[in-house]
Amino acid sequence: MPFTIPDERANQQAIETTTHLQHAETRPLAERLKALQERYQSMGTPNPDFDETAFLDEMWAPTDA
């Protein structure tokens, strides 16, 4: 049983949205994420000596104006 909305404009928008979702990306998630993973790996390895706490403390420290 199809779902119909009394307002024709809203009904058309609902049909278009449903159609769009039905034709959404169908490739496997792993395949869709491959480009993102390659970009992440191209950034290199993290700095093991980086102290995030000290960095954030310095960033949020009050400044003497």
| Amino acid at residue number 46 | P
What pLDDT, on the 0 to 100 scale, is given for residue 20? 64
Residue 10 pLDDT > 60 = yes
Reported pTM: 0.36
Residue 39 pLDDT > 60 = yes
Q: CA-CA distance, 14 to 22, in Å (whole number)?
A: 12
Q: Mean pLDDT, to the nearest integer, of 38-42?
A: 92
Q: Mean pLDDT, to the nearest integer, of 13-22?
A: 72
Q: Mean pLDDT, to the nearest integer, of 1-19?
A: 73
